[in-house]
Structure 1
């Protein structure tokens, strides 16, 4: 780099040196020529008298004395006709072609070794002092007034000595130039060693540090400012390395913490579902490769909700922490326990058969049942329902394992709670529970894919034909070739708390489809009934939602009737009363569905401000042939008339039933005898046609 920097300077210096040498070389040639011209001119003047007088001896002496100069090789004197009078030496250049050109001292020719100069010998006028005349008398004539050319003097001067001096000067100049270049090279080397090289080392170190090599260091021996830079860069690199190492340590710690958090439950310190799934997958893999067997326990705490409801979630969290610690200590070292969510736990018993698994499951159940939890002076006791599944090579994957264990756990709950239920293939109760659990995923996917559809069925007036049209909305699932009736999926939806989501969808879709037609036919109103589940009624957010949407559609709110089953109303009496009161202020109607199925139907009826009683279809279906069913229907119809409540008979399948209902004074009938369920879009078209 430094050589490239100094190269222009070296080129300029070399050029100047060469210019000096060439100039000196030319100056020597010009000096030789001037000296030769001076010599030939002086000799021509000296030879004037001798040539005029014809004194050859004097002429010879003058010429020989001039030739004593070592550089003059040849001297020739000739007359005006060019005839040679006297000569010393053998000429190398021809004289005759140049004699006629010589009017003054001239350089006429040159070769590599000699130069030829010639000068004319001219007779000058004479001035003679005459005392008698008292002055100077100049002899003049026509001939004297014009210079008379007597002849020529020619000198051939050697250039060898000049050449020698030129070569000497050239060698000297080249030596000086070479010495300068050598000194410049030494200077460049010195500068490179003391400046450029340290700068390069510093630059290289900085580039390495910038590229991430924090172990790079600089070692410079020149001292001075570079030593200061060396210490600064090395200190900076060391500080960066320390900071980087500290940061990496923090990143490793944070990564380890995140990794732990990703697979562990922060409340109990146990594995979470993700970590447990990985352990279960590893155990399942071992069963596919060997005959090894393991056991999976799915554990759900009983009466845990009581602790949360009475003492708060802080107490519930502390109970979970204490129980998790106790269960972990009671298990074998090779076993895996995890909190799967809420009050549910999973236990993987490695290398364990089903009988041993049942024993360990009972041990856990007793441990939990005997555990006493104290909080703010109150003592709580909880239990555990446990589902047990044996892992072997016949299970297709871990998802089926978890599904079977979950189903066995809920079968244990259904059997009275605080039990261990072993899953056996063909167990109808567990298989039913598994079917419900499969419906959970299926229903969620159907909701996302918009596979639910609304149908409607008319509720027909049996006596008053002038009453407003009345329809009940029915939910169908279309994720297969034919619609799926609600009785196939509603139990699973109720058990796994999906009904609030489904009821919300039904109301939103009904409003989106029906509101335009209902707003356009306010003068000819219709009544649309929508079923509400017990889970929705106990959901505070759902109550806020339904009140909000009815208030936003206040103009048509009186055209909506919400149906609540009798058992739901009785089990959520306070909530139902509040909901009825709030929505009735907006004009909404209410119907008590499946009335007569409960043992205390009439006892609660006077507390519920409903507009319709829907008689349970179990009494209506056979009332034309069964007097007991007919008596039940008659009793309900009489009580309803006394209370001013309209009655609706469900499951009307034939004309005989219609006649019997009319005879008993039932107001409305609903069933396949009147009409099959149809898509709700057809009702919207019918409403639009009525406008």
Structure 2
């Protein structure tokens, strides 16, 4: 130690300057009072002063305010106590711009501290750049989901009487572009949608790509009325946009959900992002280009409603709250046919004894694959209740009394149609209850049938050979009805009620019903018109040759006892 002290004692400031002048590191010497005794050329350049002999400089005057000053003092104290130290510190030069240094301090003789500094400004900038980019979506340049969630969770709540709005925007038909044109075209579409969102972005608004085809927009100082107007503007611009690729144009839509952030919003317990996402999901399930605002005490998500319906359906089975209804189908032509042609309808009683229509619980049952269970309950129950009636009719027919058999139309789902075990179940029930197959007509929707025309055709052909009959329901509702009709060997066409109900006032509907009737006649298929509401409509259908009519104008559904 004495040798080291003698070395520093023998060195003058001039000797130190010559020794360290060519170093690319900043080198300095300070005393216990934080006075700068020496700084080499590199250090003087960084701190923006030229150290003059005999002039005193307090090194803390050159350290940036805030944490850097306290960090420097603490580490200097550690060195004075005998512990070498290395730390990062921001220097605030008198003339130059603020720079970041990595400083190593160690003890020198006579209570002095020797410092060696390295410029890490470039390294800091790179870290900041990486941090900035880590919060960005590379494709659109918007914030990514992680960074957006961090901002929302840490944001300052608005003052009382003011609001922020958070919009969740999900693109429609994006998958078609990806599948038909490729992933690069899908990326191009997302960039063009991003441009639309930038035009709608307010000065203080924040946009993020939440992943895939979903975007979020945080509108600062925006109440619900303004948020709805903003959502409409975005939806309309996206809907009006036509994406072009390889001389083809593709339409795009958007489902939008939004929620509010108020002064009393507890972000720790409720997530505005989750609320907006639930509202967006609800909007998407309502249909094309819909907007839905989150309601704190209302229904906001089809997932929420569907999960509720699962338990309600299970409860209805357990407590025998499913019931069968029937609606008569009136014969319009003069031919001899079934004496009791009717459609079997399903109803569910809720916990309070009120009837629930299929349109309320069937969507959830379809999504969670409960339809085969429901279809089988309908068939078992109907066959058991109608067994005696059907057996009597069959016996009278065998006695050649020419009494036509009662025909029941039963709706079956796409899940049952695609169930390889359904025909076996059906045959077991026929054998168990001695049901004549010719008394049963299965109704399948056009939408279900065209999903797999070949499989539907094979099933229909197989069961018709055993005596069952088939009707194609809601015919005319789809865009490709006629092209598939010749591939499906059905006995009846049920003309969709949306075409039938206004034929007395709408000439286009009338022409379409007439066209469907003529084609069915040419193919030897009988027609059933749905949603018949008046005698006038019945007369018009009879005149054009429709075989059957069904609707409230003929019979209101009744419980099947």
- With normalisation by structure 2, the TM-score equals 0.47
- With normalisation by structure 1, the TM-score equals 0.40
Structure number having the greater helix percentage: 1
Structure number with larger C-alpha Rg: 1
